[in-house]
């Protein structure tokens, strides 16, 4: 007799016969509704009953984008990235009878869904599954209005896939799996029991050589490490102090200084700097005393504390969401403002909207927390600092990873903190680039990551190179860098070395323990699994202590000038500092200008206007614009106005009380001959003009028009960064030609900026690497984005043809990807452009045009497989040297079509005629010549295929190639990508016609090819399309 059994009955029978068998009913992806909303939070719950004593219980959790799970009211798991599911032993949080699992799901943007699976085994061997599915309930946070969830997808569905079937992420890296510098050894000393001792983020050393560690959301622990060479676990004991939530610890002056940040942590107090005096006889700390309240908290709040080089002061660092310390007495930097020449796009996801300068800062205090002195600012979120043996201060500042792919993205970087420094952080797209004369650059760009702890190797029993190195930690990519500094004038340059690296290795803090000369570091943070490691040197090099290297003469000069920054210095500082405004050293010029800015403007105004040395004049006039204005020209916006719209407002008109000073400054700047200056001076001069406007306001057309006429002939230059500044300045000045000169560049300008990170680094955290890989795979043109960013505010010089070409560019960007804000940044530029300069009659058509997806390639075209890269000539030549043999003819031919070569160039009787015939390229060009023509087409432009700049009598400009001249009309092809679209120009309207220095050939066409595809293409061109050429012999 045939018996039909349902899957449920069959599962029950299997469970009874084989109680150790793991049942897998597969959880389902759930959410509160089909359409998720950006920044949405939802509460999900499931009640269930357990029969019998609990032997084990494991919870697996993931959520697009993040989730926190609680069992019976206690937090048990935190998931921060759906690509990295978390698993945890939760047996102790369960009990026989009724239990409740509650999960808060959080969505950043786009799709959202939650997946969870709780596997319980009881003492009798039975197993029970509690998995997300239609029997769960959901409600908004803070409400009790629970209702059934919606199943979004089955387990294994795209885009998430069989996420729980992947190899589980190891909680802590095995020391044997780490990459370590030669001669060094890494030991795992202690694995932190997360449920009892949390996740450690800060370290310091007490006088007895014991380590003190802070749980990010809990208390402080004292650790006695085992002697070097002996086995055994570190001894750990909780510190009997009622304080917690610290991001920074420092033992100094017979006291423990604690920077409380996480105010919701257990044993926490209000945010600020605390002191716990140490009783040596009792080996105990006294009651915490608040030395100074600091308003701020969380991951962009106040962080670490370090001892000053004088041994009598402490320094604190704070992220960009932290207010200056209450009662801050003095500041070395002065007159900080936003200084954006054009309206600044706020972060497209609203992060830090209306948050203004100064941003993150470094502050000096005495041991009682008094006499606060701001040393430097303009950081995004530096977590720690370190002094070298000469008292020079350094930090490792964070990036805004959501900006990746944009021209204003700045990677994590090492900064040399100097007195009065402004390191350029401004909110949104207003991040100051490194070349701005009113901000300071990085000593070294590191790349993407999350900077945490830092320490110099002073006191380590390491070779001399590492005693002088600074060790800097990256939480995201599990890399402990050794930064090796090389003196460079008044500052330093640096090289990085991956000293310790691995996966998973979320590094949080690092110290050198004087008692044994070893380096100790912790991993953890954000409630992840924490541990303590030790690094010792086992090689043969000498570890004898080394002396400090003598400072350079330029460094001595800078430090003498910095003495003029402190409160109480009189006008004598002007004469002492003035000659150094003309120094060729940027850091000396900076120190001199800050000294002068501390003095009354009336005492040096005339001297600034009369200065004739180029550097001296530029620096003095920057100082005068910054300090002499009656009210900063963008300061007039209210906080309410700042929060409206996607951008901040424009520079306001020059106030009557500032008009005379602005005229004098502009006249003084006008004495400097742009063409006689070197590149650094040219860039500084452009910034000096910008500051004259951002501080003193926008003058009328009587001043703007002559200045536009002065700068118009200078654009474009061969330097990409100078072009960015010229476009912005010309747009601000209402140039009538900048639009016509810049729109064609959207097709032809090369991308500026190299690869963001190495593949090896990204492999250490695949989840966080998605944004970086998105940039690398789609290769957005950051230079073109910079041009569009400026052009969105251009109100003159547009024609219907230029508007069409401009908005067509947006449709070509649909395949570009970057950080979380990248796509929305482009969308905000598009919508602002439509609002700023599009007539009503064209609005609908241009709106539709700019939303179009790029056309799909024809079915018979073989597209590149990639991954591509932004090739330089030298790199491509190096790939091709000795590589043009055994190539693939058919793939080379296919790439010739897919990279659009055949569209513009005649080749073996086929193709277009926009560019030169390249049938005989293999005989005419060397390999380098050929690659230069492809990668740098504007380096040499044939007269036959040149571009014209037509200046018309009405003040407008047309850029393109004149392809037909007849009946007193010129027909101009303005884009090689649309050769059939010609712009007619009446010959009698042309005032001047001259060659334009930019080729019409689009750049970056080969950047979608991988190495083999590139080599096949080169072999195809050099062979003249001959399949029997030796390059294709196998």
Do 431 and 399 form a contact (C-beta atoms < 8 A)? Answer: no
Local structure of 318: helix, strand or coil: strand
Task: Give 97's strand partners.
Answer: 50
| Per-residue pLDDT at 170 | 54
Both tokens assigned to 122: 């009881």
| Per-residue pLDDT at 1 | 31
| Per-residue pLDDT at 775 | 85
CATH superfamily of 7-165: Galactose-binding domain-like (2.60.120.260)
Q: Are strands 41-50 and 97-106 parallel, antiparallel or unpaired?
A: antiparallel
Do 543 and 468 form a contact (C-beta atoms < 8 A)? Answer: no
Neighbours of 484 (CB within 10 A): 17
| Per-residue pLDDT at 637 | 57
Give buried/exposed letters for 331-351 (b at 16+ CB in 10 A, else e).
bbbebbbbbbbbbbbbbbbeb
Residues of the chain with CATH 1.10.760: 858-941+1002-1034
Residues of the chain with CATH 2.30.30: 947-998
| Per-residue pLDDT at 647 | 93
Both tokens assigned to 536: 């010792």
Rounded to 5°, the CA angle 145-150-152 comes to 145
Q: Which portions of the chain are predicted below pLDDT 50?
A: 1-24, 633-634
Local structure of 874: helix, strand or coil: helix
Number of residues written out for the chain: 1034
Place of tokens 């570009």: 816
Do 107 and 122 form a contact (C-beta atoms < 8 A)? Answer: no
| Per-residue pLDDT at 566 | 95
CATH superfamily of 199-455: TolB, C-terminal domain (2.120.10.30)
| Per-residue pLDDT at 553 | 98
Residues of the chain with CATH 2.120.10.30: 199-455
| Per-residue pLDDT at 19 | 34
Both tokens assigned to 192: 């932190």
| Per-residue pLDDT at 804 | 94
Q: Which CATH class is domain 947-998?
A: mainly beta
Cα dihedral across residues 166, 170, 176, 180: positive or negative: positive
What are the pLDDT digits (tens) for 549-588? 999 999 999 999 999 999 999 999 999 999 999 999 999 9
Do 224 and 532 form a contact (C-beta atoms < 8 A)? Answer: no
CATH number for the domain whose boundaries are 858-941+1002-1034: 1.10.760
Both tokens assigned to 269: 């107090």
Distances (CA, A) of 232 to 112, 167, 173, 192: 46, 30, 18, 15
């Amino acid at each position: 007799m045939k018996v039909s059994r349902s899957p449920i009955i069959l599962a029950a029978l299997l469970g009874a016969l084989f109680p150790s068998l793991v049942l897998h009913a597969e959880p389902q992806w759930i959410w509160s509704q089909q359409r998720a909303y950006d920044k949405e939070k939802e509460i999900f719950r499931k009640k269930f009953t357990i029969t019998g004593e609990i032997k084990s219980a494991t919870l697996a959790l993931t959520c697009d984008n993040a989730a926190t799970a609680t069992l019976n009211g206690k937090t048990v798991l935190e998931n921060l990235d759906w690509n990295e599911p978390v698993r945890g032993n939760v047996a102790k949080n369960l009990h026989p009878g009724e239990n409740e699992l509650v999960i808060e799901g959080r969505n950043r943007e786009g799709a959202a869904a939650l997946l969870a699976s709780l596997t319980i085994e009881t003492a009798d061997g039975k197993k029970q599954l509690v998995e997300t599915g239609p029997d769960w309930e959901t409600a908004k946070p803070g409400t009790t209005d629970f209702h059934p969830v919606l199943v979004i997808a089955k387990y294994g569905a795209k885009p998430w896939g069989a996420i729980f079937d992947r190899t589980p992420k190891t909680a802590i890296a095995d020391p044997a799996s780490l990459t370590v510098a030669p001669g060094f050894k890494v030991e795992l000393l202690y694995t932190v029991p997360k449920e009892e001792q949390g996740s450690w983020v800060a370290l310091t050393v007490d006088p007895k050589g014991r380590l003190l560690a802070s749980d990010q959301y809990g208390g402080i622990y004292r650790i006695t490490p085992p002697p070097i060479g002996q086995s055994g676990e570190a001894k750990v004991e909780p510190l009997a102090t009622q304080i917690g939530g610290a991001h920074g610890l420092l033992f100094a002056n017979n006291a423990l200084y604690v920077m409380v940040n996480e105010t919701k942590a257990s044993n926490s107090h209000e945010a600020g700097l605390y002191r716990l005096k140490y009783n040596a006889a009792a080996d105990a700390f006294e009651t915490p005393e608040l030395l100074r309240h600091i308003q701020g908290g969380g991951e962009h709040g106040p962080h670490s504390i370090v001892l000053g080089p004088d041994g009598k002061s402490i320094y604190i660092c704070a992220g960009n969401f932290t207010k200056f310390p209450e009662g801050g007495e003095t500041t070395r930097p002065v007159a900080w403002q936003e200084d954006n020449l054009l309206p600044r796009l706020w972060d497209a996801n609203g992060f830090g909207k209306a948050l203004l300068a100064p941003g993150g800062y470094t502050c000096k205090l005495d041991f009682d927390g008094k006499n606060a002195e701001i040393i430097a600012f303009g950081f995004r979120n530096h977590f720690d600092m370190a002094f070298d043996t000469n008292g020079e201060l350094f930090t490792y500042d964070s990036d805004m990873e959501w900006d990746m792919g944009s021209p204003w993205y700045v990677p994590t970087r090492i900064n040399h903190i100097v007195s009065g420094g402004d390191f350029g952080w401004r909110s949104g797209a207003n991040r100051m680039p490194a070349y701005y004369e009113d901000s300071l650059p990085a000593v070294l760009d590191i790349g993407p990551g999350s900077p945490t702890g830092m320490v110099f190797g002073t006191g380590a029993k390491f070779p001399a190179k590492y005693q002088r190195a600074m060790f800097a930690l990256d939480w995201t990519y599990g890399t402990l860098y050794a930064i090796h500094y090389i003196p460079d004038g008044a500052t330093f340059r640096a090289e990085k070395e991956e000293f310790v690296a691995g996966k998973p290795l979320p590094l949080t803090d690092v110290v050198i323990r004087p008692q044994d000369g070893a380096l100790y570091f912790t991993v953890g943070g954000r409630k992840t699994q924490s541990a303590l490691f030790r690094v010792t040197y086992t090689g043969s090099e000498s570890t004898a202590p080394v002396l400090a290297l003598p400072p350079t003469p330029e460094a001595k000069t800078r430090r003498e000038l910095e003495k003029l920054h402190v409160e109480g210095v009189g006008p004598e500082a002007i004469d002492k500092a003035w000659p150094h405004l003309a120094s060729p050293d940027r850091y000396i010029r900076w120190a001199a200008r800050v000294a002068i800015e501390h003095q009354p403007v009336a005492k040096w105004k005339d001297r600034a206007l009369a200065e004739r040395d180029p550097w001296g004049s530029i620096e003095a006039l920057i100082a005068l614009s910054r300090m002499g204005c009656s009210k900063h020209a963008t300061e007039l916006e209210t906080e309410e106005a700042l929060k409206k719209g996607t951008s901040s407002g424009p520079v306001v008109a020059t106030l009557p009380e500032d008009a005379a000073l602005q005229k004098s400054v502009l006249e003084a700047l006008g004495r400097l001959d742009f063409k006689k200056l070197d590149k650094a001076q040219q860039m500084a001069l452009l910034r000096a003009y910008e500051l004259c406007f951002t501080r003193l306001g926008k003058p009328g057309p009587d001043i703007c028009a002559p200045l536009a006429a002065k700068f118009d002939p200078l654009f474009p230059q061969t330097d990409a960064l100078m072009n960015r500044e010229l476009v912005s300045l010309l747009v601000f000045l209402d140039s009538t030609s900048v639009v016509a000169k810049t729109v064609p560049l959207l097709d032809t300008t090369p991308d500026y900026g190299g690869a963001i990170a190495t593949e090896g680094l990204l492999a250490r955290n695949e989840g966080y690497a998605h944004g970086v890989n998105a940039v690398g795979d789609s290769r957005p043109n950051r230079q073109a984005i910079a041009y569009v960013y400026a052009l969105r505010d251009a109100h003159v010089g547009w024609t219907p043809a230029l508007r069409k070409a401009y908005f067509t560019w947006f449709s070509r960007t649909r395949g570009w990807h970057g950080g979380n804000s990248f796509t929305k940044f482009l969308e905000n530029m598009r919508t602002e452009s439509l609002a700023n300069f599009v007539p009503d009659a064209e609005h609908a058509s241009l709106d539709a045009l700019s939303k179009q997806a790029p056309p799909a390639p024809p079915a018979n075209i073989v597209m590149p497989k990639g991954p591509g890269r932004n090739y330089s000539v030298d790199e491509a030549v190096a790939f091709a040297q000795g590589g043009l043999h055994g190539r693939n003819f058919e793939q080379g031919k296919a790439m010739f079509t897919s990279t659009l070569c055949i569209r513009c160039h005649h080749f073996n009787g086929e193709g277009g005629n926009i560019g030169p015939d390249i049938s005989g390229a293999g005989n005419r060009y060397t390999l380098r010549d050929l690659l230069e023509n492809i990668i740098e087409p504007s380096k040499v432009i044939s007269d036959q295929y040149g571009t014209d700049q037509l200046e018309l009598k009405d003040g407008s400009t047309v850029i393109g190639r004149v392809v037909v001249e007849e009946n007193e009309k010129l027909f101009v092809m303005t884009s090689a990508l649309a050769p059939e679209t010609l712009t007619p120009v009446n010959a009698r309207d042309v005032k001047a016609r001259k060659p334009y220095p930019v080729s019409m050939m689009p750049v970056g066409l080969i950047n979608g090819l991988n190495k083999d595809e590139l080599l096949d293409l080169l072999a195809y061109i050099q062979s003249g399309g001959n399949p029997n050429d030796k390059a294709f012999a196998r």
